[in-house]
Amino acid sequence: MKNEFEIDTSNGTVKVGKTIAAGDDLSTSNGHITVEGKNKSDEFEKNTSAENVLSIDTSNGNIYVN
């Protein structure tokens, strides 16, 4: 069974400190994505077929995942 932790926002920054997710599905229309201190493009996917996936989508904002 796949578990997805989903965060959606229209205007705002999303910051995630610690997570048990083994995969990431991140996207922003007008912002930046930073994963573990490294800048990514406006879309970032890693291990999206994992059992636990963190899914974040924002229209206007940055995403930070540590």
pLDDT in tens, 41-53: 899 999 999 999 9
Residue 2 located in a structural domain: yes
pLDDT at residue number 21: 93
Name the residue range of residue 3's domain: 1-40
Residue 66 located in a structural domain: no
pLDDT at residue number 1: 63
Residue 52 located in a structural domain: no
Residue 11 located in a structural domain: yes
Residue 49 located in a structural domain: no
- pTM, 2 dp: 0.89
Residue 65 located in a structural domain: no
Residue 8 located in a structural domain: yes
Q: Mark 39-62 as b/e (b = at least 16 C-beta within 10 Å).
A: ebeeebebeeeeeebbbbbbeebe
Domain count for the chain: 1
Residue 21 located in a structural domain: yes
